Amino acid sequence: MHKPGRKKLLYIVNSSNYFLSHRSDIALSAKEQGFQIFVASPNDDEKKKLEQKGFIHQEISLSRSGKQVFKELKTLLNIFKVIKRIKPDLVHLITIKPVIYGGIVTSLLKVKGAVLAVPGLGYSYIATGIRASIFRLFLAILYKMAFRKNNIKVVFQNEEDKKIISKASGLNKNKIALIKGSGVDLDKYSFKPIPKGRPIISMASRLQKDKGVTEYYEAAKILKEKGVEADFYFIGSLDSNYANEIEKKELMEWKKSNVVNFLGYRDDINMLFHKSTIIVLPSYREGFPKVLQEAAASGRPVITSDVPGCRDAVKNGLTGFLINPRDSKVLAEKILFLLGNKSLLKKMGAEARKLAEREFSSNKVVKEHLKIYKDLLK
């Protein structure tokens, strides 16, 4: 299984599915450069796809919500064991728990180099109140421990997240890299003119409250009640492993109302975007949403929240609109405005594609990561 002489690169991530959609291009390019690739993630349906790409899967126990101390200790121990067993030359830690636990373990086990990718700050930085503030202080201490090792690069996806975490953890500037998201395959998400006929408005994300799913549903309801002739698609599935999920009961009521067509998890998002007129993402906070990059590459105007992550993926008034989060009325107004302005729709779609070609190419993101790997192994 372990080929002598080849450098070992271990990715640790909270979901194989996320790894395949957001990081496999980087891993495949690293493999072409001679790395032996290991992916440690919880066991799920996607394990076979990882192995088909020539990656060696390692099972770890990892829940995305962090409410049970024993489960957290088990995750930490699992990460410790997998790093000790594989003895990687380089680890690439993706998402908050792998970053924190893996960061602490790599400094203990003296791994040569580590990339710590923080793709958004998650629910802990959206929640308000005393408990959330205390939890953020606790997180800052853990980040400080995770970033202690010298030979690391901490990759942020947007300026705000970078500022918040580096200030809270006292992170050294030399250890920081800013890479806007995971990029998009510009051939797969090719430019297509906006289709004629009955408009389709699409939202693609996990079914979580803080993605703005409720606001999307309410905006669709407002427009349907006004007699607007359009279809509303939601692409994505329930996320039962997340602190702020949508209640199943509420989802059943939404489905019954036929206001939004819930399509569930799909792997043909490019085709669905080509059928769509407008893409929306009324999220409360993001890292750098891949879905907005995919929408831009497809030549679709976007309506999204003026919050960290989302605002970095849109040129307001040029490729789409930025609106206040948690405001379904304004979301409905902007959708209606765009539907009534065919020439603006067309212009924004063309500008969105130009933006994607300039800034969102996955080739660019892959090159930036491979350079970091090379520098850490020097």
Q: What is the pLDDT along the chain (378 residues), one digit of tens a residue?
A: 455 568 999 999 988 988 998 899 999 999 999 999 999 999 877 888 999 999 999 999 887 666 678 888 888 999 999 999 999 999 999 988 899 999 999 989 989 999 999 877 666 666 667 877 787 788 888 889 899 988 999 999 888 888 888 888 888 899 999 998 889 999 999 999 999 999 999 999 989 888 999 999 999 999 999 999 999 999 998 766 555 678 888 989 999 999 999 999 898 999 999 999 999 999 998 878 999 999 999 999 999 999 988 998 999 999 999 999 999 999 999 999 999 999 999 999 999 999 999 999 999 999 999 999 999 998
Q: Are residues 162 and 28 in the same domain?
A: yes
Distances (CA, A) of 1 to 31, 36, 174, 358: 15, 10, 36, 41
Domain assignment of residue 261, yes or no: yes
Distances (CA, A) of 281 to 106, 200, 320: 36, 14, 11
Return the pLDDT at 159: 87
Q: Are residues 256 and 346 in the same domain?
A: yes
Give the number of other Cβ atoms within 10 Å of residue 86's Cβ: 19
Q: How many folded domains does the chain comprise?
A: 2
Q: Are residues 331 and 209 in the same domain?
A: yes
Domain assignment of residue 193, yes or no: no
Q: Are residues 366 and 345 in the same domain?
A: no
SS3 68: coil
Domain at 370, CATH number: 3.40.50.2000
Residue 176 bridge partners (DSSP): 154
Return the pLDDT at 181: 85
Return the pLDDT at 313: 93
Long-range (24+ apart) CB contacts under 8 A made by 130-137 are 136/168
Domain that holds residue 111: 8-183+361-377
Q: Are residues 207 and 167 in the same domain?
A: no
Angle of helix 130-146 relative to helix 159-169, nearest 10 degrees?
A: 80
SS3 305: strand
Domain assignment of residue 13, yes or no: yes
Please give the DSSP secondary-structure letter assigned to residue 312: G
Q: Are residues 281 and 237 in the same domain?
A: yes
Torsion angle of alpha carbons 93, 95, 97, 99, nearest 10°?
40
Domain assignment of residue 368, yes or no: yes
What phi and psi values does residue 150 have, to the nearest 5 degrees? -75, -50
pTM value is 0.85
Q: Is 161 exposed, middle or buried (0-12, 13-18, 19+ CB in 10 A)?
A: buried
Domain assignment of residue 16, yes or no: yes
Return the pLDDT at 12: 96
Give the number of other Cβ atoms within 10 Å of residue 135's Cβ: 16
**Residues 116, 157: contact at Cβ < 8 Å?**
no
Domain assignment of residue 2, yes or no: no
Integer Cα distance of 230 and 277 in angstroms:
10
Q: Are residues 329 and 368 in the same domain?
A: no
Return the pLDDT at 239: 66
Integer Cα distance of 319 and 281 in angstroms:
14
Q: Are residues 158 and 241 in the same domain?
A: no
Nearest to 282 by CA among 218, 199, 213: 213
Integer Cα distance of 228 and 92 in angstroms:
47
Nearest to 51 by CA among 38, 63, 64, 70: 38
Domain assignment of residue 315, yes or no: yes
